[in-house]
Amino acid sequence: MKKVGALILLLVMSSMLFIPPVKAGTYYSKLSTVGLKLGGVLKFGDYEIKFRDVTSTWDKVMIDIYQGGTLVKSLTLQEGEQGYYPSQDDAKIIVKISGIWEDKGVVYITVSTPMKILEEKLVLSEGSSYTLPSLFPKYTFKVVDIPEDDKVKVKVTYPDGTSVYKVLDKTTPIQVSYKVSSELTQSPVVVVELVEAKKNDEAVVNIYVPGLFFTNPQVINPGEEKEEQPVEETQIVQSVYEGILYVGENLIVEYNNTVYKVNLVSVGYYSRFKLLDSSGNLIEEFTIREGTGYTLTKAPIRVEIPPNGVDLTYNRTYIKVYTPVGGVAKPIIREAKVTAELSVSEKSLLLGGDELIVFIKIKNVGKGNAFQVKVMAPVPNNFELRSGIGAWILSRLEPFSEMPVLVYTLKPKAVGTYTLGPVVVEYYDEAGKKVTIKSNVIEKITVYSTPQIKLKAAGFSNSSWSNYIKTKENSTVKLRFTVSATGTSPEYEFIKNAKLIVNLGGFLDGKEEISLGTIKAGEEKVVDAQYLVLKQGVYPVSVTLKYQDPLGNWHIINYPNVVLIDSIPPKVKVLVKTETKVIEKLPSPEELPRVIEGVLKQQSNPAPLALKIQNVTAKFIPPKKEPNYKLIATILGVLVVVLGLVAVGTGYYMTKYKEELRKLQAKKKKPRPGGLPKKSGDDKEVEEIKVVQ
């Protein structure tokens, strides 16, 4: 009795929802303990665990593990021991001998599997929630409150819609079980482990799920009939597909080694479906109204159409498909069809101002998704990318959708005719295949330029052309205009519909507009025109050049004072008539500067005439030299010496002359014998002899 009581206690403990962690962060999911008679089998999914043999003393049992009907592992275990498949280091299935009941010939085993991490360091803020992916039971975990650090209040919602509140902290993870049959439970199927949490802010968690689900488990012992356990609707909780299904498509669903095909016949407020077997034979037909669902009677499958899920434009509907845990739906590989369209704002540009605006439209007109869509924009030679970027990447382009229009601008750097395109688009289809497509090409994008325009004007006077014309009232003058265009590409650099507008100003009478037409780069056009001078005066002629650039835009250039017309009668020469002859009177030297100044003031551009006058007067102006101070000093020194010598010589001779004069006077005073009487005038002495220097 003690042995029986201990065994019962062991079974109760082994069926509790407890997962012994081997180490921190390691969890195991197990199936409820089952009893096998000799030859009995536990089936789940694609596996079978068979109680093959036992020793005569019932202290050791032999367990075989089959996968897909093939023996993959044999174990010999004592009570309390456990074996691993395929190995202890890489275990997928762990079989533990929980008890051996020799009296009844039953061995109790517990099967478990390691859990793997599904979400690592998932951040959930207050009020946010997380739902397991479609391949797992539909459990939802919502962070209701974080009252303090490392403590979180969580609302757990089960697949059937019921919910409970649990407290999560670092020492107590949340573990949730799942009933895989009417009698057996797999526990846990989800473990939520807290990494850290900040008060009233957010929590960081790890989420674990089993590496293997024990789907549709059955215990078959010798002598007992194998009973197919009908699947209850409450067990159809695993979402295996949520997405689009087109008319005529088949969604392949597999559960418990059975293949089903869900075929969409038509769409509308009521959409019709067929359920087919793997060979295409009809199993069941059913109809679903939009916003409702249907659970099939001949297969463990439920199909739902959410509100607003039907799309009549593309003959498709959004569906949700559910099976018991362990069911799978094979993905439908559809073909994406991406197109690219290239367009521009204009095909004629003007260099130096205009920019080319480029538009790219990317569409997916296929039924499949396009992933990692990369759009590479073309840039022709002699163009510079001004705005936008050269490439765009979109992670996913859904069926029958399009990207926002891509816009960028190009600035031309040289004249010519260019081709733009194609746009190159790369993407991956749903099968992972890389696809490259190209857009259309835009040809004959022409870049023009306006050449540099120069104008020269002259009048015919005194048998020569000059910009100064001396004429008289009521006479005609001939004006010549020369317009030239500077450039190297006549095909792309030109002006058109050019004309000169002469400002007559009430002084001239003649043609006001002179047509020039088209002037290309490197060309020159010369036009002459006759004009009548209406009155006396000095009149500066101004003209305006009006033309269109290659794109038809009008431009105006003003040229003031291109020619000076002087019709004032000459007043410089004056004829004076006398009795004998006519004298031609010219300005006196004193009047000449004033006359020249007056003439220059009458000129619109006096610089050329002033330069000519300067060239004439320069011949008569002695060159200005700097004084040679050394030479001057030498000359002054010589002069001083010479003057000194002259002074000395002059003094010497004056002394000598005075001495001779004295002797001569003394000689005259001596009486001479005989002779005439002495005159009174002889008594006067010569006082001084002046030497005229």
pLDDT tens digits along 461-473 = 778 899 999 999 9
Q: What is the pLDDT of residues 268-287, one digit of tens each?
A: 888 999 999 999 999 999 99
Say what the pLDDT of residue 684 is. 45
> In sequence order, what DSSP letters do the residues of 309-320 get, joined into one string?
-EETTTTEEEEE
Yes or no: say if 52 and 63 are a contact pair by the CB < 8 Å rule.
yes
pLDDT at res. 671 = 56
Q: What are phi and psi of 689, to 5 degrees?
A: -110, 120
| CATH code reported for the domain at 338-448 | 2.60.40.10
The per-residue b/e assignment along 270-309, b for 16 or more CB within 10 angstroms, e otherwise, is ebebbbbeeeeeeeeebebebeeebebeebbbbbbbeeeb
Q: What pLDDT, in 10s, does the model give residues 412-444?
A: 999 999 999 999 999 999 889 999 999 999 999
Q: How far apart are CA 379 and CA 150, in angstroms?
A: 56
Cα(187)–Cα(72) distance, integer angstroms: 25
- Evaluate if residue 52 carries a pLDDT over 70: yes
Predicted local distance difference test score (pLDDT) of residue 8 = 37
Q: How distant, in Å, are the alpha carbons of 17, 56, 91, 211 from that of 113?
A: 14, 31, 7, 6
What is the Cα–Cα distance from 397 to 402, expressed in whole angstroms?
A: 7
pLDDT at 435: 96
Q: Average of pLDDT values for 126-146?
A: 87
Q: How does DSSP classify residue 23?
A: S
pLDDT tens, residue by residue, 606-645: 888 788 787 777 777 776 655 666 666 666 766 666 566 6
Hey, what's the torsion of the CAs at 648, 651, 656, 659, to 10 degrees? -150
- In this structure, the dihedral spanned by the alpha carbons of residues 671, 676, 681 and 686, taken in order and rounded to 10 degrees, is -40
- C-alpha to C-alpha distance for 408 and 377, rounded to whole angstroms: 9
* Tens-place pLDDT, residues 374-407: 999 999 999 999 877 778 999 999 999 999 999 9
Neighbours of 532 (CB within 10 A): 14
On whether the CB atoms of residues 536 and 482 are closer than 8 A, the answer is no
Contact 392, 374 (CB under 8 A): yes
* Architecture field, domain 452-566: Sandwich (2.60)
pLDDT value of position 644: 63
Which comes out higher in pLDDT, residue 614 or 248? 248
Cα gap 504→542, rounded to integer Å: 8
- What does 83-150 look like in DSSP terms, one character per residue? EEES-STT-SEEEEEEEEETTTTEEEEEEEEEEEEEEEEEEEETT-EEE--TTSB--EEEEEEEEETT
Q: How confident is the model at residue 21 (pLDDT cuts 50, 70, 90)?
A: very low
Is the model's pLDDT at 144 over the cut of 50? yes
Higher pLDDT, residue 219 or 9? 219
Across the range 547-565, mean pLDDT stands at 95
Average predicted confidence (pLDDT) for the chain: 84
Q: Tokens 């010598």 — which residue?
A: 645
What are the start-end ranges of the E strands in 521-596? 524-533, 538-548, 554-566, 574-577, 582-585
**pLDDT score recorded for residue 623:** 67
Q: How many CB atoms lie within 10 A of CB 539?
A: 22
Of the pLDDT bands very low, low, confident and very high (cuts 50, 70, 90), residue 646 is low
Where do the domains of the chain lie?
Answer: 2-113, 233-329, 338-448, 452-566, 574-616
Distance CA 514, CA 516 (A): 7
Contacts of 479 (CB under 8 A, 6+ apart): 457, 458, 459, 460, 502, 528, 529, 530, 531, 541, 563
Give the per-residue pLDDT at 213. Answer: 86
Q: State what percent of residues in the chain have pLDDT above 70.
A: 82
Sorted by sequence, the CB contacts under 8 Å of residue 14 that are 6+ apart come out as 33, 98, 108, 110
Q: What is the pLDDT of residue 231?
A: 52
**How many angstroms separate the CA atoms of 289 and 196, rounded?**
46
Q: Is 621 helix (H, G, I), strand (E, B) or coil?
A: coil
- Its CATH architecture, for the domain 2-113, is Sandwich (2.60)
Mean per-residue pLDDT, 79-85 = 92
Task: Report residue 580's pLDDT band, with 50, 70 and 90 as the boundaries.
Answer: very low
User: Confidence band (pLDDT; 50, 70, 90) for 26?
Assistant: confident
The C-alpha atoms of residue 560 and residue 545 are separated, in whole angstroms, by: 11
Lookup result for tokens 């007109």: 365
Please give the residue that has the higher pLDDT: either 428 or 13. 428
d(CA 345, CA 131): 49
Distance (Å, whole) CA 228 – CA 300: 13
In this prediction, residues 336-358 reach a mean pLDDT of 94
Q: What is the pLDDT of residue 237?
A: 79
Confidence at residue 546, expressed as pLDDT on a 0 to 100 scale? 97
Cis peptide before 422 (omega within 30 of 0): yes
Instruction: Give the per-residue pLDDT at 24.
Output: 40
Checking if the pLDDT of 564 tops 50, the result is yes
CA dihedral 161, 162, 164, 170 (to 10 degrees): -40
**Which one is predicted more confidently, 317 or 575?**
317
Which range (236-245, 376-385, 577-586) has the least confidence? Answer: 577-586
Taking the C-alpha atoms of residue 685 and residue 430, their distance in angstroms, rounded to an integer, is 156
Of the candidates 315, 310, 370, the residue with the CA atom closest to the CA atom of residue 339: 370
- Beta strands 338-344 and 406-412, pairing class: unpaired
Among all chains, which residue has been given the structure tokens 């015919």?
460
Q: Both tokens of residue 11?
A: 């079974």
The residue among 341, 338, 313 whose CA lies nearest residue 421 is 341
Task: Report d(CA 40, CA 302) in Å as an integer.
Answer: 33
Distance, first Cα to last Cα, the chain = 180
* 665 pLDDT tier (thresholds 50, 70, 90): low
- Please tell me if the domain spanning 338-448 has the same topology as the one spanning 452-566: yes
In single-letter form, the type of residue at position 277 comes to D
User: What is the mean pLDDT of the segment spanning 358-384?
Assistant: 94
- Give mean pLDDT, residues 349-354: 91
